[in-house]
Structure 1
């Protein structure tokens, strides 16, 4: 018998998700079912799945006791990921609109993820999520991509999930990349990584805010219009390259819109919009 699932479609700056409500943890989607839901021709179409499940309903060891709700994020190919910066804002929007949580001004909404519990607050751009501590890995990774010409070095940045950030000298070089083909990293990280290609603004800083343009190839997905954790990684990489005088606030332009990043000590925070588009039911074999 086909499985009938209620769902809601949402996005954050064009990074889109199928949201599956499953408060009691009764829905178990296979990798192939996730891929079918995310298929843009034969399914609903999305960059990933957000399963909305109560933390208490998770298997022992997976629960996040300090958060009632857990974001079970899966990439479009069905693989599980540690976190999703755009996804968690969309997840928060869904909880609020569905009446499953409240978020008064000045309060924090805790959401469980595979990277632990993260706090979401309201911001002028929509929502801001504290992604927690970040880590820079200066071990050089060479990145080859179609349209890049030559392999370029990338900087490793971990914001709860792994990224490699590559700096390009001009908008033309960024626009000329063909990211329909997955870039190759040498050496290849054991768990893979999202790859960000960035062009710093000229001038880099305006009114105390750094500026960046970015495109991203997400592991398990492909090129997306936006990647929240990738935006944070891009800002951290350019900040690292710029040195001690670099600003703490950044504005990052991605194909799907604009996101904000700020650093507070060793922590990084991401802000941006989140929208719900439509809801329905889908039959899934």
Structure 2
């Protein structure tokens, strides 16, 4: 039995157990991660963020090759213990933890590079908390069909990859969105090889106000279930709705999820179009837990 220190944090209700392991000495099994994230018998969270120096992990070597200043690597695990590539809310919470614990600094106007399995993500301060450059994105080929409990018929979806896989589904009304039962996992046909997060979205009326697109969304996260918020899902949602809206659609969006509202911005970069996510990050409490 081992006692470890942890901090609980969240980004618009998407919550995480944060464990500082700078030298990469802590090897957590899937069962241990799942036990820590269990809402009845553990601390409770949508996922776990292990704070490790990039130089202490094999995956961190790629981050340092991409950006030598990416000292810290976000080892992100889903609530079921499975490894995940990226988490948009998690990166903001991770960066906030680094700053609050004195492990990093972020002077005004500068960026903090964070290593992830999807590549280095740059974080900067914003009016609502932090903005993270999610990086390049791509639309996935194919025409997936999504079935979900509470939907009378299956709906077409759009596959979007923003470092991790998503399928975004448009619904006809707020009633359809609210009538979804996401305690059951949606079914995607054909099934993505590594699974996918599924977002269900409804536009506000009007869709665009003061040059900003506005939509509501609920999400079923791969390896977790329904969550109050999903940062990469929010960016995928904005990208999908912009595509459906056609020419003249804005590059700035507000996405409302059960946990709050986040901002999305698309912008050109040297290697192609990037998408950025902005929103708050909060640390709730710290403690110690006995790890079996």
| Shared fold per TM-score greater than 0.5 | yes
Matches within 5 A, 1:110-121: 110-121=113-124
Is the contact between residue 197 and residue 214 of structure 1 (CA under 8 Å) also seen in structure 2? yes
Which whole-Å deviations, capped at 9, do the CAs of 1:60-118 have from their partners, x for residues lacking one? 77452120000000000011111000000000000000000011111000000001111
Aligned to 2:274: 267
State the 1:148 CA deviation. Answer: 0.7
CA distance in 2, matches of 1:243, 1:105: 36
User: How many residues matched?
Assistant: 284
Report the counterpart of residue 223 of structure 1 in structure 2: 226
Moved more, 167-176 or 58-67: 58-67
Q: Is the 8 A contact 1:84 1:228 kept in 2?
A: yes
Deviation of the 1:197 alpha carbon: 0.1
* Unmatched tracts of structure 1, length 5 or more: none
Matched position secondary structure for 1:46 = coil
Q: Quote the residue 1:177 is aligned against.
A: 180
Deviation at 1:59, TM superposition (A): 2.7
In structure 2, distance between residues paired with 1:62 and 1:104:
26
Deviations 1:232-271 (A, max 9, x none): 0000000000112100100000000010000003110000
Q: Counterparts in 2 of 1:102-141, with a 5 A limit?
A: 102-141=105-144
Q: Which position in structure 2 is the counterpart of 1:283? A: 290
Structure 2 equivalent of residue 19 of structure 1: 18
TM-score normalised by structure 1 residue count: 0.98
- The answer on whether the counterparts of 1:56 and 1:63 sit within 8 Å (CA) in structure 2 is no
Q: Distance in 2 between matches of 1:116 and 1:247?
A: 27
Q: Aligned partners of 1:19, 1:160: CA distance in 2, in Å?
A: 21
Deviations 1:140-192 (A, max 9, x none): 10000000110000000000000000000110100000000000000000000
Match of residue 3 from structure 1? 2
The 1-side partners of 2:156 and 2:225 are apart by 20
Task: Write the distance in 2 (CA, Å) between the matches of 1:51 and 1:284.
Answer: 15
* 1:1-285 equivalences in 2 (<5 Å): 2-59=1-58, 62-65=61-64, 66=68, 67-265=70-268, 266-285=273-292
